[in-house]
Amino acid sequence: MRHRSTSLSKGLGAAALGAMAVVYGSALVPRDADGARWEVLVPLAVSGLLAGCWVLAVRSAPLVTRLPAVPARAGIPAALGSIRRDGGHIAMAYLVIWAPFVAGAAAQHGSGSSLGGLWCALTALFALVLSCYALALVTSRLGPGQKVLRADAAAGRVYAVRARFGDAVREQYRRPTGTGTGDISTIDSYYAELSPESEDGGPAVRPTVRLASMRGDSFRINLGDKHLSHAAAELAGHSGWLCWPSRWKDLAGTDKDRHVAAAFVTDTGHVVWGHTRQDDWTTWLRGELAPARETDPTLSAEVLSSPSRFLPAAHGVSLLYAAAAALLTIPYLVGAVPFGVGIGLGAAAGLTGLVAGVRMANGAKILDPELWTTRQESHPSLR
């Protein structure tokens, strides 16, 4: 289970990233004098120290637990919050992208070497291309269908039913590859089972609805899966309103998979974004079991705060790679090695830092296993 993100851990994490940004800036400033580059070494040591303190602060923070029960909320909020942008993730992504260039430039240090210049040119081009790709990190966190639902709620009308947040399910779907070699592929998908309730809070004799995670990813991290995982940790057992957009026919008619965006708005004042598959929404929307309801402009719902992103099993090795990258820079930053060796160490440091960032991104995809009930489904041909 993850730990809560506290003000202390956020502050230390931001300070560590800020110190590393100072390292980058200092390393790129030309200097005529020889000798140790203390203007780079000092903030590098400070960044490492702050990163270690950040890990300790995260590990000492309380674990994420289920929110306490609250009274039922009669109205449906008109203002539904969006998933917040992760400033720490954005800053770390750009630091990782530019690590090979900065490490090489620090080793080059205005020497005029053609080999060092070639390395810097190639890594700068690489960083510029990836920087453009990383702009997706600062765009909206909601998909097109979720934006329609959000706008419909703000306009005053959605389709909604009362429901309770049940099991969080990881579905493993096995299907043939079609190669004729006996190979089978497995696709993982995540959803929360929502059990419909009557208006007075009692159970309703209706089929459960699967609120699937939003589609799409950013830097290989599926934001929808993580968003649903955070909700499963804190909102399991809570009741609220399952909402569909008033323009659901437009969404269903233009989506190749016939999916319709949905949101679960809890009585605690939080919103969980996702989508519903055709066999889930048909009964409620085409069968008219989910009535059109007016939203309350005086009410609002926000997305849950994200827990700490650090998981020891996933990120421990990544931090060791980052530490190794920093250590590789020390010999040429103190002027203890010949220029050629320094260029090699700079390239190794940059690539090691890049590997650390990729491993960190892959670790960010890992969801807390204890939150999910695993179920397996198979293609009809494999049954």
Q: Is residue 294 part of a domain?
A: yes
**Given a cut of 60, is residue 201 above it in pLDDT?**
no
Task: Specify burial of residue 11 (Cβ count, 10 A radius: 0-12, 13-18, 19+).
Answer: middle
Based on the fold, state whether residues 218 and 251 are members of the same structural domain.
Answer: yes
Give dist(CA 236, CA 166) in Å, integer.
Answer: 6
Based on the fold, state whether residues 202 and 99 are members of the same structural domain.
Answer: no
Q: Are 330 and 41 in contact (CB under 8 A)?
A: yes
Q: Is residue 75 part of a domain?
A: no
Q: Is residue 262 part of a domain?
A: yes
- What is the residue range of 45's domain? 7-63+85-138+312-364
User: What's the number of domains the chain is made of?
Assistant: 2
How many C-beta neighbours within 10 Å does residue 79 have?
16
Q: Is residue 69 part of a domain?
A: no
- What confidence category does residue 74 fall into, taking pLDDT thresholds of 50, 70 and 90? confident
Based on the fold, state whether residues 325 and 229 are members of the same structural domain.
Answer: no
Based on the fold, state whether residues 164 and 120 are members of the same structural domain.
Answer: no
Based on the fold, state whether residues 179 and 130 are members of the same structural domain.
Answer: no
Instruction: Give residue-wise pLDDT tens across range 220-229.
Output: 457 788 888 8
Q: Is residue 92 part of a domain?
A: yes
Based on the fold, state whether residues 152 and 295 are members of the same structural domain.
Answer: yes
Q: List the one residue out of 351, 329, 331, 309 whose CA is nearest residue 23.
A: 329
Instruction: Give residue-wise pLDDT tens across range 6-54.
Output: 999 999 999 999 999 999 999 988 776 677 889 999 999 999 999 999 9
Instruction: Give residue-wise pLDDT tens across range 311-346.
Output: 777 778 888 999 999 999 999 899 888 888 888 999
Based on the fold, state whether residues 292 and 320 are members of the same structural domain.
Answer: no
Q: Are 366 and 311 in contact (CB under 8 A)?
A: yes
Based on the fold, state whether residues 156 and 283 are members of the same structural domain.
Answer: yes
Instruction: Give the pLDDT mean for 54-77.
Output: 90
DSSP state letters, 165-197: EEEEEEEEEEEE-SSSSS-EEEEEEEEEEEEEB
Q: Is residue 78 part of a domain?
A: no
Instruction: Give residue-wise pLDDT tens across range 370-381.
Output: 788 888 777 676
